[in-house]
Structure 1
Amino acid sequence: MTQFEQYFTQRREEHLAELKELLQIPSISALSDHKHDIRHAAEWIAAALQSIGMSKVEVMQTKGNPVVYAEWLGAKDKPTALIYGHYDVQPVDPLHLWTTPPFEPAIRDGKLYARGSSDDKGQTFMHIKALQAFMQTTGTLPVNVKFCIEGEEEIGSPHLEEFVETHKELLQADVLVISDTTMYERGRPAICYGLRGLCALQIDVKAAKGDLHSGIYGGGVPNSIHALVELLASMHDGNGRVTVEGFYDQVKPLTEEEREAFQALGYDDVKAAAELGLQELFGEAGYSTLERMWARPTLEINGIYGGFQGEGTKTVIPSEAHAKITCRLVSEQNPDDILDRLEAHIRKHTPKGVTINVTRQDKGRPFVTPYDHPLIQAAARAYEKGYGVTPVFTRMGGSVPIVETFGRLLHVPVVLMGFGLPDENFHAPDEHFHLENFDKGLLTICHYWEEISNLK
C-alpha cells in the first residue's frame, strides 16, 4: 500500500464526514432565497482551502455570486495548475421523488446520496483532499496550484467570463484541470476532450386577445397551439436533420480516427434503448448514436404549453402557446449566429393569423482540444495507475460553457478529468456519487500531479 493509499484509507470516514457537511448547505444558485447559503458554501470552501495550507485564499465578489480563489506557488520550476469547480447546485424539485432529503447526505449501497454529491461539490472536494494528502505526507506539493471555484455554474456562469477577463494574470497557469464530467461507464474512466455548446430560446405565440369558445369560433379563427406545432414541425425533417437554413454550415466533420475510436467503444444501441424504456433510439441519419450525442448539433423542444391543461375537457381555442428550445452546438458553431438563424426560420415559417415573440436565453460555445497534448496524456497515465485500466478519450454531449471561456482567455490546455458516472442523477432526484470513484479518484488526482511535475 502506497503512502497515499494508506493516508486515504485511514482518513476515509473523516473525509466523508467533511464532505457531508458541505453537502448539507443548500447552495442553489437559481433561487434567490438561497443567497445566504451560497455565501455559506463559498466561505466553507475557502476555510477548507485555508486549512490544507494554501498560502493565499480569498472570497472574491463578482456582480453575482462570489468566486473562491486560492493559491500555493512554492514548487519552484514546476508547472502551475489551475483547478476549476463550482459549489452551487441545481434546485431539488420534485422533492417527493427523493428517497432521502436532498440536503441530508446518506450512504446506501456504496453511494453517497445528496444534491451536489456528484455535480460538483463531491468532485471539487476531492481536489482539496488530494492536495491535503501531499501536504500531510510530504510537507509540500509537486506542482504549483491555483483554485477558481465559482457559485453560478448551474445558471450558466453569467459573471465568470468577466471575472476571468479581469483577473487573467492572477489565473494564468500551464494547465486547467476540471472534474465536472463523467467516466464512460463504471470501471472505465474517460478523459473528455470535447464539449458541445448551447443556445436557448423561448417562443411565445399570440392569436386572439383571449381564449375563445371552440363551438362559436371554431373553424373561423387561428389556433395558437396549431400554429406553434406547425412551426416546430418545420424545424426537422423525417430523418432527424435540422432544417433551419445554414444550421450545419460551421460543423466540422469528425476525422476517421475519431469515428473509429467511437466505434471501438462498443456502444450498444439495443441495451441503451432498453435501459431508457424505449423501443429504439433515434437521431440524425448517417451517424452512430455516439456521434449524434457527442459530435453533432441538435435542436430540441424542451417544453411546450398552452391552452387548457386541467382534468377533463374545456372547449377553448387557446389565445397563447409557448415553447422552449435548446440547441447543442459543435465545432465552430457560434451561439449568436445559430440564434440569428433560428429567428430567421421562425419569421419565415410563422403561420398566418398569429404573432410570435422570441426571447433569447442561455448560450455557450462548444469546446474541443487536441487529446495528444502531453498534459492530457499525463492524465491518461494517472488514470491507469488509479484504476488499473487504460482510459478512453471521449467527447461529451453536455455543455460546460466556461471551459471554452477559460481556454480562449487564458490560452491554456484544459484537462477534463471526471469521476462521476452518467447514471448518477445529477440535476435529478436522488443524485448520488459512487464511493469507489471517490476512493480511486483521490489516488488518480495524486498520480496526475506527480505525472505533470515530471514533465520537461
Structure 2
Amino acid sequence: MSYANYFKEHREQHLNELKEWLSIPSISALSAHKEDVVRAAEWLANRMRQAGLEHVEVHQTDGHPIVTGDYLHAPGKPTILIYGHYDVQPVDPLNLWTTPPFEPEVRDNKLFARGATDDKGQLYLHVLAVEALLQQEKELPVNIKFCVEGEEEVASASLPPFLESHRDKLACDAIVISDTSLLEPGKPAISTGLRGLCSLEVTVHTANTDLHSGTYGGGVPNALHAIVELLASLHDKEGRVTVDGFYDGVPELSDMMREEFKKQGFSDDKLREELQLSALYGEKGYSFVERVGARPTLELNGVYGGFQGEGTKTVIPKEATAKITCRLVGEQDPQAVLDHIIKHLKEHVQPGAKLTITEGEKARAFNMDPSNHMLQVAADAYEAVYGTRALFTKDGGSIPIVETFSRVLESPVVMMGFGLPNENLHAPNEHFNLENFDKGLLTLVEFLKRV
C-alpha cells in the first residue's frame, strides 16, 4: 500500500487520537494544570509505545516531565532526534474562542483547539510517520530518537540540564523540529535562523509620593516625563538603536542572503494594507522580511505609570515603568546587550530621577548553514510532496532551546514546520490546516527515507 493510501485509510483514527490529546489542557504556565501536563506526557508516552518506539520513558524534572523514546535498529545509518513540546499556552481571553479551546473541532478542513499547531499537532506527525514506516516496511530507514518537553511555553528551564546529563543518550546526526510555519499555503520553508532574546524592566522613581500638579507642577521631576524622554533616547529618527555597542556581533546582510529574502516574494505594501497602516516602520535600508529575519530590535512591550482611570486626576506620578525586549541576531551576546542598554539608561536618565532595573530572560540567536546536507534533503522532501522546493528563511521569533540543542549535541537542526503564519498560535481560535497535516505526514516519511 502506498503511504498516501495508508494515511488516507487511517486519517479518521489519527485525527480522533489527536483530538483526544488536544483535549488535555496541558498549560505549563498555570499550576492548576500541573496534573494535566503530566497526563499529556503520559498520553504521548503510551502512544509512542503503540507506534512501536522502544525504551519510552517519562522523566520527572523539577518542572514538568520530559518524554524520550527511540528505535535503534539501523546500524551504520544516521540517527535522527525528534524534538517537540506537548505543553500549550493559556487560553485567555476565553470569550473570543468560537468553540471551547479543549474541545477540538474540525471546521473548513481546519482542526481548532489550543495546541493544534503549537505544537501537539505538528509533533504528532512524527509519531505517525514512524508508525507508518514500521507498519509498511517493518523497519526504519534510520535510527530514531524522541525528546519531548512540557516547558517550552515557559522557557524550557528543565531541558538544558537534561540535555547535558543525557548527552550520550540523545547523541544524533541531526535534530528535526516541527514547530514553525510554511511561508504561505503551498510554499514550504526551512528556517536557518532564529533570533535570540533578552529582556529587562526599568522603573523610574522621582519623589517619595505622587504630588499635586498645581502645587508642584513645573518645579519637580515627573516620572512619566522622565521615562518618555529616556525611552525616546533608545532610537534615532531612522529606527536605528542608539545604544553604544548594541550592534556588536551583528553580521552585515550578504548579497546572497538578500536574494534569498527576495525569493519569498513578500509584499511590504500588502502587509501595510492588511494592518491598516499608513506606513511601515523600522531600520532604514532594510525591507520588512530583512528587518524581522536578520536584524536586531529593541522594542517597548509596555509603558505605564500615573493615573489611568476615567476622567482627570491632576497628579505628578512618582514612578513609571517600561518593559523592554530585544531580538538578537548573529553573535550578539544577550548579557552584553543588556549591559550596554543599562549603561545607556543610567547615562540618559533625567536629573532628579533614579532607576530600578530588573534583567529578564536571555537567549542567543541560532543560525544554520543552508548548504548542510540534512537541510538540503529536507528541502527535497518538501518538493517531492508539495511540488515546490522549500525556501531557506530566517525567522524573527525566538525558540531558545534550538540553539541549546545545536550547541550541546553538536548536531545540525532541521526546522521542518507544517503550520501556517495565520493559525492563531498563542491566540484564540488556534488551528491547524489539515492539508498540511496530510502533506506533513508524507513529507516526513519522504525525509526519513531520503536521509
Q: TM-score category by the smaller chain?
A: over 0.9
Give 2:264's aligned amino acid: L
* Partner SS state of residue 59, structure 1: strand
Deviation at 1:208, TM superposition (A): 2.1
CA positional deviation for 1:411:
0.7
Which residue of 2 is the match for residue 34 of structure 1? 33
**In 2, distance between residues paired with 1:53 and 1:389?**
32
Q: Which residue of 2 aligns with 1:309?
A: 308
Question: Which letter maps to 1:344?
Answer: K
Say yes or no: does 1:97 pair with 2:96: yes
Task: Tell me which residue corresponds to 2:438.
Answer: 439
Is 1:327 the counterpart of 2:329? The answer is no
Distance in 2 separating the partners of 1:214 and 1:292? 42
Corresponding position of 2:216? 217
Corresponding residue for 2:233? Answer: 234
- 2:142 aligned residue: 143
Separation (CA, whole Å) in 2 of partners of 1:397 and 1:451? 29
Q: 1:44-95, CA deviations, whole angstroms, 9 ceiling, x for partnerless residues?
A: 1111111111111011122211111111101122111000000111111122
Distance between the aligned counterparts of 1:89 and 1:319, measured in 2? 39
1:285 corresponding residue in structure 2: 284
Displacement, 1:111?
A: 1.1
Q: Secondary structure at the match of 1:168?
A: coil
| 1:126 and 2:121 are equivalent in the alignment | no
Secondary structure at 1:171 match in 2: coil
Aligned residue runs from structure 1 range 45-64, under 5 A: 45-64=44-63
**2:374 match: secondary structure:** helix
Write the distance in 2 (CA, Å) between the matches of 1:279 and 1:98. Answer: 30
The reply on whether 1:169 has 2:168 as its aligned counterpart is yes
Q: Secondary structure at the match of 2:44?
A: helix
Give 3-state SS (helix, strand or coil) of 2:168's partner. Answer: helix
Cα distance in 2 for partners of 1:5, 1:334 equals 46
For residues 115-138 of structure 1, the C-alpha deviation after alignment (integer angstroms, 9 at most, x for no partner) is: 111111110111111111112222
TM-score by length of 2: 0.98
CA contact (8 A) 2:206 2:354 kept: yes
**1:355 matches 2:354:** yes
How far residue 437 of structure 1 moved from its aligned partner, in angstroms, is 0.5
2:423/2:430 contact within 8 Å kept: yes
Are 1:270 and 2:255 counterparts? no
Match of 2:14 in 1: 15
Distance 1:29 1:332 in 2: 31
Aligned length: 451
- State the partner residue of 1:346: 345
Secondary structure (helix, strand or coil) at the match of 1:169 reads coil
CA–CA distance in structure 2, aligned partners of residues 376 and 264 of structure 1? 18
- Displacement, 1:189? 0.3
**Aligned alpha-carbon RMSD (Å):** 1.1
User: Does residue 183 of structure 2 align to residue 178 of structure 1?
Assistant: no
Between 386-395 and 213-222, report the one with greater CA deviation: 213-222
> Which residue is 2:249 aligned to?
250
Q: CA deviation at 1:217?
A: 2.0
In structure 2, the partner of 1:261 is 260
Give the superposition deviation at 1:429.
1.3
With normalisation by structure 1, the TM-score equals 0.97
Contact 2:204 2:321 in 1 (8 A): yes
Instruction: Compute the displacement of 1:264 (Å).
Output: 2.5
User: Counterpart amino acid of 1:397?
Assistant: G
Partner of 2:4: 5
Retained in 1: the 8 A contact 2:268–2:287?
no
Whole-angstrom CA distance in 2 between matches of 1:172 and 1:276: 45
Q: What corresponds to 2:387 in structure 1?
A: 388
Work out the CA distance in 2 between the residues paired with 1:320 and 1:44.
Answer: 49
- The Cα shift of 1:216 comes to 2.2
| AA in 2 matched with 1:140 | E
Q: Quick one: distance in 2 between partners of 1:329 and 1:164?
A: 24
Runs of 4+ in 1 over 3 A off after TM superposition: none
Question: Contact conserved, 2:299 with 2:325, CA < 8 A, in 1?
Answer: yes
- Show the counterpart of 1:69: 68
